Chains A and B, each alone.
Chain A
Amino acid sequence: MNLNSDNNITDLPQRILLVDDEEDIRDVLTIALEDMGYDVTTAENGKDALEQFVAADFPMVLTDIKMPGMDGIELLKKIKQISPETEIIMITGHGDMDLAIESFRNEAVEFITKPVDVTTLEIAISRAKKKQKIRQGLKAYTESLESMVLEKSNALASHPARGDDKKEILESMENLPLIVFVVDRTFKIKTGNALFKKTFAIGNKTLKSTGADPESCDGTSQINGELFENNSEQFCHRVCRNNALPCPECPALATFQDGESHQIEVSYTLANEEQLPCLAWAAPIAVDGDGTVSEAIIMATDIQKVMDIKDHLTSLGLMIGSVSHGIKGLLTGLDGGVYLLNSALKKEDQDQAREGLQMVQQMTAKIKKMILDILFYAKDRKLQKEKVSAKNFAGDLLNTMDSRAKNLSIELKSKLPDPDFNFMADAGALDSALINILDNALDACVTDGKKNESPKEKYFVELSVSCTPSKLIFTITDNGIGMENQDMEKAFCLFHSGKGKGGTGLGLYISKHVIDQHGGTIKIDSEKNKGTTFTVTLPK
C-alpha cells in the first residue's frame, strides 16, 4: 500500500505554473520544463498567475521577481496565503539582492538567476521537490500530534482539577526563554510570563505576577487570577503590534475558530517602535463544556538571529555568483590588454602598446580592488580608532586617486581645512570607504561611449573637508553623468550596481558600512547629466 502511494507521488506528472512577463523566457523555460517531464501552465503577469492559481492549485510555481503590476514578491505572498504548501522558485536578475532576500523571508524556497540555465533550473526544482516531501511528512506528523494535544486538552477541560494544572503550566512557563501569554476570545490578555512583560515593557503595576489567589478563578475563562490589577483592558493586538483591531493573520484567531494549534511568522512592535521578528504558536488552553475554545496560549520565540543568518547566507550565495561573474569579465579584460600589448610589439606600434599597457593596469587595479572588497566583506573587522590629522588624511586620499584621475584626464580638485584639525577614526577603514566614493565619482565622469555626445567643459572630481565643533564633513562632488533616482535609492545596497557589469555592487555598500561603524551618515544628491555630491558626516 505504502509503496504504491509513494510510486503515485513520483509518477504523477508535476504541474508547474510559470510566470514571466517576457515571452522569450516563457518559451524557453516551457520547453526546458516540458523536457524534464513537467506539465507547464504559463502566465504573463502576477494577476493572471493568481487567477490561474485560484482556478487550479499548483504544487510548484516558478516566477520572475520583477514584473510590471503585481511583482513576484506580491504574488509569492498571495500564493503562500492561499496554499502554504506550494513551493515557489523565484527568478532574479543580477543585482536584485533586496528582492531575493525579501522573497526568502516570504518563504520562497529557491531562487535562480537570470539568464536561467538548465542545470541550475534542474537543481532548484529537485531541491524544491525534496522540501515539498519533507513538508508533507511534517504535516502528517503535526496533524497526529495536534489530535493528541486536542485529546489531552479535552481531557483537561473535563477534569475537575484543571485550574491547578493550568497554574502549573503557567508557573513552569514563567521563566522560559519564550514569550508566553494567554488571551481570551476578545484578545484581552489574561496573563503573560516574565519575558512577555519584559519584551513589551509591561511593568508590575499593570500586570500582576504569577501566584495570585487561585480561588478567584471562575473555572472556565480566567486562569489563576492573573488579571490586570487596575482592570484596564489590554488587548494583544494593541500591546504586541500596536494595532487598534485584532490582526487578521492572528494564529489565536484561527485557534478560536477550529480548536487547533497554528503557527505564523510575525513581526511584533516593541515599546520603542522597533520590530521584533518572531515565530508564534497559538494553542487552545481553556475549552468550554460545549467544546468552544475560550482561551488560547500564545508562545513566541525571537527569530531575529535566524533572520540575520538567513540574510547573510543569501547574500553570500549571491555574492559568489556576482563576484565570479565579475571576475570573469575582468580576467577577459586583462587578457585583452595582454593581447593588445603583444600584437603591438609584433607590429612595433607604440600607440597600441601604450593602450594595451593601460588596459592591463586598469584591469589589474580593478581586480585588486575587487579582491580587497571581498576580503573586507568576508571579514567584518573591528574598528581601531586613532587620532588622525584631517589634512594628512585628505592628502593621502588625493595622492591615491591622482594617477587614475590623470590617466582619465579628469581634474582632481580639493578644499582642505586650514588650520588643520584632528579627529578619531580608523584611518585604514575610512580610507577605503572614501576611496570607493572617489572611485565612483571618477567612474561617473567616464561612462564609456556616451561622453562624446555632449562635450562639456572639463570633467572634475572635488574632495572637500570641513568641520563644525562636533562634526567632520567630507563632500565629494563630480560633474559626471549623475544618477537615476532608482540607483540613488539603492546605491548602498549590497550587490546593486548602477554600472551594469562594471561594478560588483560591493563598493558603496562597504563605504556605508564603515561610515555607520564610525557613527556617521552618508547622503547623495544627484541630478542626471549634471553630477553627483556625496556628503559624509562623521562625529569628531
Chain B
Amino acid sequence: MAQQASAGRRYLRAFVSGFFVAVPVTVTVLDRFAYVARVEGASMQPFLNPEGGSECDVVLLNRWSVRNYQVQRGDIVSVMSPRNPQQKIIKRVIGLEGDFIRTLGYKNRYVRIPDGHFWIEGDHHGHSLDSNSFGPVSVGLLHGRASHIIWPPSRWQQIKPSLPPNRGPLDTEEEEG
C-alpha cells in the first residue's frame, strides 16, 4: 500500500516536471521560431487554397527570420489585422517603405508608403481585404513569413518570393503606367 502511494507520487512528480518543461518550450518555439497555421478564405487564390471550399492549406510561418522586421517584396507574410486585433491575415508584400505604389481601388491612385510601413495585397483581387481598403500597414504588426506549404502533401513546397506581374514599385520616370 505504501509502495503504491510512493509510486503514485513519483508519477505525479514526473508529470509536473515534464509539464513545466514542455509547455514553456512549446510556447517559446511557437513564438520565436516557427508557427503552423491554417489558411482560411479565398484571398490568396490561386497560390493558397486553390480549390476553395472545405480544403484548407496549412503553412509554416517562419518567425525567426522576421525578428528584425525585415521582409522582401513578394514575400507572403502573416500580419495582425489592423481592423481586428484578434485576427491574423496572410497577404503578399507589394511595397516597402519609401516605394511608390499604384493602388487598386484605394482612395488615392498613387501612394508613397511612409516610413515603417508596407503595402500588402491578396493575390485574388476583389476578394481580399488588404491595403487597398485600409492603407499601408505598420511593420510592427508583422507576425511571420510563410516559408513552406506543408499540407496537402501533394503541394509540399518552399515558398519563393514572387511579385505578381505589373505590381512592382514604380520608378519616378515611368509613372504614367
**Are A and B part of the same complex?**
no
Give the B-binding residues of A (Cβ under 8 A). Answer: none
Task: Please list the residues of chain B having a beta carbon within 8 angstroms of any beta carbon in chain A.
Answer: none
